[in-house]
Amino acid sequence: MTIVDEPRTATPSTPDGAPDRPRSVRSRLPGSDRVFRGVARAAGTAVLVIMLLVGLFLTLQAFPAVRQAGWGFLTRQDWDTEGNNFGVAGVLIGTVLIALVAITIALPLAVGAALYISEYAPRRLAPFLVNLVDLMAAVPSVVYGIWGFFLLQPHLLVVGNQGEGLPRWLTTYLGWIPIFAVDDYDPRDPEASASRLTSSTFIAGIVVAMMVTPIIASVMREVFAQAPAGEREGAYALGATRWGMIRAVVLPFGRGGMIGATMLGLGRALGETIGVVLIISIGFVIQPHILQNGGGSISALIASRYQESTDMGIAALMGAGLVLFAMTLVVNLVAGVIINRSRSGAQS
C-alpha cells in the first residue's frame, strides 16, 4: 500500500466574483519617469550623433585626398599637395618612433614611481605623492614643451658648440647601431656642428615621455594598490623580502593593468602635438636615426600645415589626422580590453 500525499494547497475561495489571478507587477511608468528616460536617452543619442559626426566628417573630408593618392598615401614620403605627391609614410614612422622613445623612457620611470608610492613610501606621504603625480598629469603640455625647448635641449642634452651631452655620447660609442647613427657628423671632429644633434626625434621623445609618465604611473599605482593583502601577507609569512613579495605578488597581479596603462600612455604619446612641434624640425622623409636633426609626427604636420588654403591640402591633412586617429583608437581599444580582462583591472 502506498501513501500518497494529496495536494493540500487550498485556494482561498472568494465570497463572490471571479477567483484571484496573479497580478501583473509591472506598473505603468509615472509621467516624470517617462520624461526622465526620454531626456536621458536624448542626451545619449546626442552624444552618439556628435561623436559619429566627427568620425564621419573626418572620413568624408579625407576621401578626396585618399582617392587622389591611393595607397601611395601610406607609402610616399613627401608633402606636396599642389603637385599631387603626398603621403604620410615619413611622418607616420616619425610618430611611432617618437612614441616608442617616449614609452621606453616613461615605462621604467612610471613603474618606479608607482611602486614607490604603493609599496615603499611612508603612509603619511603617500596621499601627497598621489596628488603630485595627478597634478603632473594635469600640467599643460605647452609647459612641458617650453621646458624641453629652453632647458632640456640647450642646457642638458646638447650643450654648447660641441653639443656635449647624452646624444653625442650615444652616437660616439653606440653609433654602430643603426638607429643611433648620425649622418655627416663625426663626433671626434672638433669642428662638427652641434646643430646636427638638435631638434631630433630623441629629444622630442623625452619631452613626450615627461607628459605620459604621470598618466602611466597613476593607472599603475591604482593597480598595484589593489593587490590583495592576503597574498602579500602570505608572501611575507613565507619569508619573502619586500622585493620578493613585489615580484611574487604585486607585479604578477598587476601585469594586465601595467600593460594596459602603458598602452594608454602610448595612445597619448602618439597624439601629442605641441611638445613635438616646439622641438622638432619637421621633415617628410623617413628618418630612422633618432639622434639626428629632423623627423616628424602627424600631429606636428597638422599643426604646422593647417593654414594651407587649397582644398586638397586640407583633405590631405584630414587623411593624416584619420590615420593618426585610427592608430590611437586601436591602441586604446587594445589597452581597454587588456585592462578589463586582467584580474587587477576588472574593478576600475
Residues between 315 and 334 that touch another protein (CB under 8 A): 317-318, 321-322, 324-325, 328-329, 331-333
Nearer to another protein, 183 or 326 (CB): 326
Near another protein by CB under 8 A: residue from 101, 278, 280, 290:
278
Nearer to another protein, 166 or 288 (CB): 166
Nearer to another protein, 149 or 175 (CB): 149
Near another protein by CB under 8 A: residue from 287, 292, 293, 299:
299
Beta bridge partners of 293: 200
Q: Which stretch binds another protein (CB under 8 A): 7-15, 79-87, 116-124, 174-182?
A: 116-124
Question: How far from 61 is each of 47, 57, 292, 324, CA to CA, in Å?
Answer: 21, 6, 35, 15
173 lies in the site for another protein, by CB under 8 A: no
CA atoms within 13 A on the CB side of 74: 6
Near another protein by CB under 8 A: residue from 20, 67, 112, 228:
112
Considering only residues 70-99, where is the footprint of another protein by CB under 8 A?
A: none
Considering only residues 184-203, where is the footprint of another protein by CB under 8 A?
A: none
| Cα(177)–Cα(198) distance, integer angstroms | 19
Near another protein by CB under 8 A: residue from 47, 174, 177, 238:
47
Q: Which stretch binds another protein (CB under 8 A): 78-86, 158-166, 172-180, 186-194?
A: 158-166
119 lies in the site for another protein, by CB under 8 A: yes
Nearer to another protein, 69 or 115 (CB): 115
Within 10 angstroms of residue 103's Cβ, the number of other Cβ atoms is: 22
Q: Which stretch binds another protein (CB under 8 A): 171-179, 227-235, 241-249, 288-296?
A: 241-249
228 lies in the site for another protein, by CB under 8 A: no
| Cα(348)–Cα(337) distance, integer angstroms | 12
37 lies in the site for another protein, by CB under 8 A: yes
Nearer to another protein, 139 or 346 (CB): 139
How many residues belong to the site for another protein (CB under 8 A)? 97
107 contact partners, CB below 8 Å, separation of at least 6: 216, 262
* Sequential DSSP letters for 321-344: HHHHHHHHHHHHHHHHHHHHHSTT
Q: Which three cell numbers stand for residue 232?
A: 602579500
| Cα(323)–Cα(333) distance, integer angstroms | 15
| Cα(158)–Cα(168) distance, integer angstroms | 8
Query: In a 3-state reduction of DSSP, which class is residue 283?
Result: coil
Sign of the Cα pseudo-torsion (201, 267, 141, 77, in order): positive
64 lies in the site for another protein, by CB under 8 A: no
Query: In a 3-state reduction of DSSP, which class is residue 140?
Result: coil
| Cα(165)–Cα(157) distance, integer angstroms | 5
Near another protein by CB under 8 A: residue from 87, 256, 267, 345:
267
Alpha helices in 272-310 (DSSP H): 274-279, 298-305
Near another protein by CB under 8 A: residue from 210, 219, 223, 249:
210
- x/- letters, 123..152, toward another protein (CB under 8 A): ------x-xxxxxx-xxxxxxxxxx-xxx-
